[in-house]
């Protein structure tokens, strides 16, 4: 097929957390945007659902994330103001564990590196301030007043709303079958039609291994489970003014996280393990939550929050798309740097960055560079400085 004049400025494949934010930021800048999504809007099949996600600035994963978090907080606040949706609740949070554990020591390093307001609490002070929590005597916590939660479904819906308001053309239930570069742009084929654009943005979530095999990054897809328990005695002690968000690392290095009760007594209190998931694919994931899995979660939480695992109300699966070092991939595609931008591999800790990733992706697609610090997210750290061998066009088998 001969080259064609692009009918859009940018095509965005995938309209979950990152793709919806990218569509918003691109359209705000005046780009003619086409968004393509395999499923319906704000669906439950990927990673951008579950009612709540932790947000925090004292970031134990790496201090390099903090500037992006500060910007994400600004953008979340603006999104909430622009749409009137319930997006973020800053109820405070604790990172709990042994002083030399990854969660506590890493959070403290980020807080001290960037001068973030925080307090260090010993076990007695944790119990006094937050009676729902029962740390061991050798455990401590970093308390961050600006920690809290963001709502994934509302965030995606808000970004889609803003993108549509700015003229973006968003297509749902339209899976992509393949894409190919040509001189002057890219061509994207779907089950329904063929489209062209000057730039392509790929935000594939758990579909990254198939969509972006030519990146050379060995993504792992993990099945994760979210649980909602009815606490013994009711949700009163777990309301946001009394109970913080938390990430809790035990003596074996197992991390669990949880939230206050934010959706009323019928939905109780949400908890989950951070990682500790089974390897799967989007096609093979077991969507059934089994009794032994719920029992394992309840047993774990009973040692930290004795009131919590009173009765299981519901449970739901989602997927982490994890890179070998658990850092993100945000880059111009090494094989197609003139026309393709990718954002993927968010490794279970990416949703709090959604609005700033949308801003970064818009920078890369429209300007070819960004002022945000994204060196940590270059896939060359995994694939080597030359990256994977360039893929021949067309690139086959690309699916959403």
d(CA 345, CA 256): 21
Q: Any known ligand binding at 123?
A: no
Report the chain's terminal Cα–Cα distance, integer Å. Answer: 23
Average pLDDT over residues 369-383: 96
28 is in an annotated binding site: yes
361 is in an annotated binding site: no
Q: What is the pLDDT at residue 171?
A: 98
Residue count (the chain): 400
Q: Is domain 53-150+220-322 classified as CATH 3.30.450.40?
A: no
Tell whether 9 is in a known binding site: yes
11 is in an annotated binding site: yes
Q: Is the pLDDT of residue 103 over 50?
A: yes
23 annotated as ligand-binding: yes
Q: Which two tokens stand for residue 19?
A: 């793709």
1 annotated ligand binder: no
Q: Are strands 53-55 and 148-150 parallel, antiparallel or unpaired?
A: antiparallel
> What does DSSP say about strands 185-190 and 176-182: parallel, antiparallel, or unpaired?
antiparallel
Q: Is there a binding annotation on residue 39? A: yes
Flag whether 29 is marked binding: yes
372 annotated ligand binder? no
345 is in an annotated binding site: no
Q: Judge whether 8-47+153-219+325-381 and 53-150+220-322 match in fold.
A: no
Classified as helix, coil or strand, 24 is: helix
Our CA angle for 128, 133, 136, nearest 5°, is: 90
Q: Cα(377)–Cα(349) distance, rounded to whole angstroms?
A: 14
Write down the domain spans for the chain.
8-47+153-219+325-381, 53-150+220-322
* Angstrom distance (rounded) from CA 164 to CA 259: 32
User: Is position 20 annotated in a ligand binding site?
Assistant: yes
DSSP state of 374: -
Query: What is the per-residue pLDDT for 385?
Result: 65
Residue 312 known to bind ligand: no
Q: Alpha carbon of 105 to those of 59, 60, 95, 243, 364: distances in Å? A: 10, 7, 9, 22, 34
From the list 336, 17, 354, the residue with the least C-alpha distance to 198 is 336
Residue 33 is assigned to a ligand binding site: yes
148 annotated as ligand-binding:
no
Residue 217, number of CB atoms within 10 A of its CB: 21
Locus of tokens 């610090």 = 373
pLDDT of residue 387: 52
Query: Which residue's entry shows tokens 């109820």?
Result: 91
237-275 residue pLDDT tens: 999 999 999 999 999 999 999 999 999 999 999 999 998
pLDDT tens-place string over residues 17-52: 999 999 999 999 999 999 999 999 999 999 999 999
Q: Judge whether 30 and 17 are in contact, CB under 8 Å.
A: no
Using CA atoms, how far apart are residues 49 and 42, in angstroms rounded to an integer? 8
Pairing of strands 245-249, 255-258: antiparallel
Tokens (6 digits) for 359? 């801003």
Asked if residue 121 belongs to a known ligand binding site, the reply is no
Question: What rounded mean pLDDT belongs to the chain?
Answer: 93
> In Å, how far are 99, 225, 290 from 264, measured between CA atoms?
34, 21, 25
Instruction: Read off the pLDDT of each residue in 222-235 and give the average, rounded to a whole number.
Output: 96
37 is in an annotated binding site: yes
Taking 3-state DSSP, the helix, strand and coil percentages for the chain, each rounded to the nearest 5, stand at: 30, 25, 45
Helices (H), the chain: 17-28, 66-83, 102-114, 123-129, 152-165, 208-211, 291-302, 354-367, 380-383
Q: Is 381 annotated as a binding residue?
A: no
CA nearest to 8, candidates 277, 320, 322, 339: 339
What is the C-alpha separation between 229 and 143, in angstroms, rounded? Answer: 24
Asked if pLDDT for residue 386 goes beyond 70, the answer is no
Q: Is 50 annotated as a binding residue?
A: no
Residue 13, annotated as binding a ligand: yes
149 is in an annotated binding site: no
Asked whether residue 32 is marked as a ligand-binding residue, the answer is yes
Query: Could you tell me which CATH number the domain at 8-47+153-219+325-381 has?
Result: 3.50.50.60
Does 31 appear as a known binding residue?
yes
Tens digits of residue pLDDT in 147-188 = 999 999 999 999 999 999 999 999 999 999 999 999 889 999
């Amino acid at each position: 097929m001969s080259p064609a004049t692009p009918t859009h400025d940018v095509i965005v494949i995938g309209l979950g957390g990152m793709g919806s934010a990218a569509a918003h930021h691109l359209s705000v800048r005046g780009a003619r945007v086409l968004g393509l999504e395999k499923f319906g809007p704000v669906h439950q099949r990927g990673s951008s659902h579950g009612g709540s996600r932790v947000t925090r600035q004292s970031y134990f994963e790496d201090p390099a994330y903090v500037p992006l978090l500060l910007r994400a907080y600004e953008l979340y606040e603006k999104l909430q103001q622009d749409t009137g949706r319930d997006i973020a609740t800053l109820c405070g949070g604790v990172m709990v564990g042994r002083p030399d554990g990854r969660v506590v020591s890493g959070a403290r390093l980020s807080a001290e590196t960037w001068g973030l307001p925080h307090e260090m609490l010993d076990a007695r002070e944790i119990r006094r301030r937050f009676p729902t929590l029962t740390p061991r005597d050798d455990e401590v916590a970093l308390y961050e007043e600006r920690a809290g939660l963001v709502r994934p479904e509302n965030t995606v819906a808000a970004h889609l709303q803003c993108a549509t308001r700015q003229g973006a053309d968003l297509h749902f239930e339209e899976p992509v079958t393949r894409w190919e570069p040509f001189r002057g742009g890219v061509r994207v084929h779907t089950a329904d039609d063929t489209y062209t654009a000057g730039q392509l943005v790929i935000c594939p979530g758990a579909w990254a291994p198939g969509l972006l095999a030519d990146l050379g990054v060995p993504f792992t897809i993990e099945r994760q489970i979210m649980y909602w328990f009815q606490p013994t005695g009711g949700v009163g002690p777990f309301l946001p003014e009394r109970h913080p968000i938390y990430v809790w690392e035990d003596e074996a290095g197992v991390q669990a996280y949880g939230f206050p009760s934010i959706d009323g007594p019928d939905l109780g209190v949400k908890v989950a393990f951070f990682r500790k998931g089974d390897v799967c694919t989007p096609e093979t994931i077991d969507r059934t939550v089994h009794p032994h899995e719920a029992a394992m979660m309840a047993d774990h939480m009973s040692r930290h929050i004795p009131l919590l695992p009173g009765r299981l109300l519901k449970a739901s699966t989602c997927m982490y798309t994890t890179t070998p070092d658990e850092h993100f991939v945000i880059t111009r595609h090494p094989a197609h740097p003139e026309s393709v931008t990718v954002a993927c591999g968010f490794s279970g800790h990416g949703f709090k960055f959604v609005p700033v990733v949308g801003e970064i992706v818009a920078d890369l697609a429209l300007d070819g560079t960004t002022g945000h610090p994204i060196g940590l997210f270059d896939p060359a750290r995994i694939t080597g400085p030359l990256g994977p061998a360039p893929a021949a066009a067309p690139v086959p088998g690309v699916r959403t």
